[in-house]
Amino acid sequence: MSNNYIAVIVEGGAEKAIINVLLDHDLLKFNRSDMLEEDVIRDRNAKTFAREHLSYGFAKNQISIFTS
């Protein structure tokens, strides 16, 4: 996914563990290097996520967001 980023946002530890297992076993269509911060983001508040993660200068890059 060349110039695109993926943000995987979960609310709890169980969801984060499941996504990490899927990533570790290459069972998703993307890998950690495609992900924003190269990790699953645990956040319960959309405004907090936007302030902390979407204020970067992404230029023309697209960000896909997946939530649980």
Could you tell me the pLDDT band of residue 1, with boundaries at 50, 70 and 90? Answer: very low
Tokens of 23: 């990533």
How high is the pLDDT of residue 61?
A: 65
How high is the pLDDT of residue 39?
A: 92
H or E element that contains 7: strand 4-10
Task: Report pTM.
Answer: 0.74
Q: Where are the domains of the chain?
A: 4-67
How high is the pLDDT of residue 57?
A: 64
| Residue-wise pLDDT tens digits, 4-50 | 888 899 989 999 999 999 999 999 999 999 998 899 999 888 788 88
Are 59 and 2 a contacting pair, CB within 8 Å?
no
Tokens of 67: 């939530």
Angle at 19 between CA 67 and CA 13, to 5 degrees: 80
